[in-house]
Structure 1
Amino acid sequence: MSNPWKEAEGRQPIVMRMIENSLLRDRVAHAYLFEGDPGTGKKETALLFAKSLFCREPLDGYQPCGACINCRRIQNGNHPDLHVIEPDGLSIKKEQIQFLQQEFKKTAVESGWKVYIINQADKMTASAANSLLKFLEEPSARTAAFLLTEQSSLVLPTILSRCQQLTFRPIDSSELKQRLIEEEINVPMASIVSKLTNHLDEALQLAQDEWFAQARLVVLKLYEGLKGGRLSAIVSLSEEFHSHFKEKQQVSLALDLFVLIHRDLLSIMTGEEKGLAFPDRLASFQQDALHLSAEALADRMAFILEAKRKLSRNMNQQLLMEQLLLKLQGGHAFV
């Protein structure tokens, strides 16, 4: 049986250690601000913290049991003393904060605690933020607030100063890959997208995008074309590459995929074959690595990164890719 607390400790050890200390020492702050990228577990952690405060039979004195009535009601989203505020449309409005204040004037129903979670706190309107500020300035006993944000710089400094701030670290590549596999993303796709982003939601979107799946295949075909000689590479480029990668951002992504191919080759050369971006191409890449020196591989990666820099300076995309292929094949330098 899974243990949500232990899982959270594995993903955010520093944050969970601070929460554990607060609970064990009975020094729960009246307001917390959780900051971090999407998919780093801010809301899940806030709910775990709330369960710890409400739990009737905590494990080791602080971990929620997950089975008592309070834990189950929080899990099901219907505990009367826990309120979650989400943006109404594009923002969190003053009326939502005022409703929260009215609710908190009532006596706690199930326990001595009252907790509220404000998701995407940076999306509060100015009037909502000012209304919340008054609420934070006069905290009630046994009340805990959790403000969640991806951008603390957009939250009023006066609100920040009244919160204990905890920063959630980004998900690392191997952890993200495992979480994608748990979401039924196949291993090759989970491997590649976990190298391109550390945002779970963004990774899921990319992994389920048919255009991206085709982009991966087009880049691999272009790479194979390079091995077949200049003509085949140019033909592959002209026939498929430019029809698929039309926008500047798309070409930049294609170059990122090219870099990842060459990083895999380098990993294979150094005997580090775990964590490849293209694990399904291992056998083929092993053969390719036999015919490349480390110096030649480093040159190739430098050429691709130089192409990315030139792309950022708005060089013509088609000309840039043609010159890159020539460079990779020992042709002329960039102009």
Structure 2
Amino acid sequence: MKAEELQPIIVDRFQRIIEKKQLAHAYLLTGNTGVGKQEVAEWIAMRLFCNNLQNGRPCGKCFECQRILNKEHPDVVEVAPDGQTIKVDQVRFLKSEFSKSGVEGTQKVFIILDANKMTTSASNSLLKFIEEPTGNVFAFLLTENRNLMLPTIISRTEVIELNPLSNETIKVEFAKLGASDAVVNVLSELTNSNDEAKILIEDEWIENAVTRVYRWFTLVTRGDMEAFVEVQTRLVMLGMDRFHQDTILSLMILYGRDLMRIKAGEQESVFRQYQSEIEEIAKGQTLATCLQAMDILLLMPNKLQSNIGFQTILETATINLCQAFK
């Protein structure tokens, strides 16, 4: 989606700021994955460089706009984490670019993705530019969580909170990617990001995962240790990397949450294709057991974060859940 569709209020705000020539030198754009932080930053860059403005807004089609969208504009530089962090050498490169005049004009724009992943030394290195801006140089720092940024960075930038997307907007976008109605409903609970959704939809991974986790879930709610075999023969293979492992754990938690909510009297399951089956499972369980199961499920992501093996986490949870549901 375009910035105007994702964040119309924020875009209108920046349009007025630019028209009044009041654009600050450094902004911190903060919001959840998929809300349009990068799109907004690139829209601002296009607004500054577009040579075919339409009603005062970037056309998105001219040579300048296309180069920005294709990450090819020499005066619009984007920096992303190198591995797990943004390193001080990357920021030093930016600072050297800050000091140069624009290659093709008088303006330069810098967009720092996942700015919260800057090392402390990288953050401190960036502070000098923010404290002593020069010329028509504009920096946009993007983060999902402003609380992970150094307080000194926050205090020296204009902080812009991007609005969360509505669930319906997210579902429409995921449907455009080719996801079925049932999968769209589940995907919207897992992520707001089109890029992440594309990965999950690829090769029908999410459909297989929803089915296999459901199979596992029905077994553990019967206290059936056949669920252990399901882990070893199916689920471990689906968790081919950390992202997919996280998603499998999230699916397990969603099944547990649905069971608990339906037991507590709520009407609709996220997994609409299994609505009646989950209702039947809920009839045979107490609310206390459902809550105990949720406690077990919610421990799993923290264990994965602590680098405990994925298979070990699943096997341990399977044993504990089978015991809880017996």
TM-score, normalised with respect to structure 1: 0.71
> What code does the residue aligned with 2:83 have?
G
Q: Tell me whether 1:87 sits opposite 2:74 in the alignment.
A: no
Q: Tell me whether 1:73 sits opposite 2:67 in the alignment.
A: yes
Q: Counterpart of 2:32 in 1: which secondary structure?
A: coil
> 2:290 maps to what in 1?
304
Q: 1:154 aligns with which of 144, 148, 154?
A: 148
Shift of 1:106: 3.0
How many residues are paired up?
299
* Cα distance change, pair 311–97 in 1 and its aligned pair in 2 (3 A): closer
Q: Tell me whether 1:217 sits opposite 2:204 in the alignment.
A: no
The CA distance in 2 between the partners of 1:55 and 1:100, in whole Å, is 23
Shift of 1:19: 1.9
Contact 1:33 1:164 in 2 (8 A): yes
Shift of 1:263: 5.8
1:129-160 superposed Cα distances (whole Å, 9 cap, x missing partner): 22211111221232211011223233222222
Contact 1:54 1:70 in 2 (8 A): yes
Q: Tell me whether 1:6 sits opposite 2:1 in the alignment.
A: no
Q: Tell me whether 1:116 sits opposite 2:110 in the alignment.
A: yes
> 2:312 maps to what in 1?
none
Shift of 1:303: 4.2
* Cα distance change, pair 299–16 in 1 and its aligned pair in 2 (3 A): farther
Shift of 1:28: 0.8
Q: Tell me whether 1:179 sits opposite 2:173 in the alignment.
A: yes
> What code does the residue aligned with 2:114 have?
Q
Q: Counterpart of 1:34 in 2: which secondary structure?
A: strand
Q: 1:277 aligns with which of 270, 283, 294?
A: 270
Shift of 1:42: 1.3
1:267-305 superposed Cα distances (whole Å, 9 cap, x missing partner): 995xxx8xx6334457xx3x997x99xxx8798666423
> 1:18 maps to what in 2?
13
> What code does the residue aligned with 2:225 have?
S
Contact 2:30 2:161 in 1 (8 A): yes
Matches within 5 A, 1:160-175: 160-175=154-169
Q: Counterpart of 1:165 in 2: which secondary structure?
A: strand
> 2:225 maps to what in 1?
238
> What code does the residue aligned with 1:87 have?
P
Q: Tell me whether 1:53 sits opposite 2:48 in the alignment.
A: yes
- Structure 1 residue ranges without an equivalent (≥5): 327-335
1:144-197 superposed Cα distances (whole Å, 9 cap, x missing partner): 110112232332222221111112344443333332222333332222232244
1:23-67 superposed Cα distances (whole Å, 9 cap, x missing partner): 233211111011222222211211111101111232232x21112
Contact 2:99 2:134 in 1 (8 A): no
> 1:188 maps to what in 2?
182
Give the % identical residues.
35
> 1:331 maps to what in 2?
none
The CA distance in 2 between the partners of 1:305 and 1:123, in whole Å, is 35
Q: Counterpart of 1:64 in 2: which secondary structure?
A: coil
The CA distance in 2 between the partners of 1:288 and 1:107, in whole Å, is 63
Query: Greater CA deviation, 73-82 or 191-200?
Result: 191-200
> What code does the residue aligned with 1:135 have?
F
- Structure 2 residue ranges without an equivalent (≥5): 237-245, 301-315
> 1:321 maps to what in 2?
322
Aligned-residue Cα RMSD (Å) equals 4.0
Larger radius of gyration: 1
TM-score, normalised with respect to structure 2: 0.73
* Cα distance change, pair 312–71 in 1 and its aligned pair in 2 (3 A): closer
* Cα distance change, pair 242–14 in 1 and its aligned pair in 2 (3 A): farther
Contact 1:193 1:207 in 2 (8 A): no
Contact 1:34 1:166 in 2 (8 A): yes
1:95-147 superposed Cα distances (whole Å, 9 cap, x missing partner): 33333233333332433321111122222233332221111122123221101
> 1:254 maps to what in 2?
252
Q: Counterpart of 2:102 in 1: which secondary structure?
A: coil
Query: Greater CA deviation, 112-121 or 313-322?
Result: 313-322
> What code does the residue aligned with 1:256 have?
L
> What code does the residue aligned with 2:4 have?
K
* Cα distance change, pair 321–202 in 1 and its aligned pair in 2 (3 A): farther
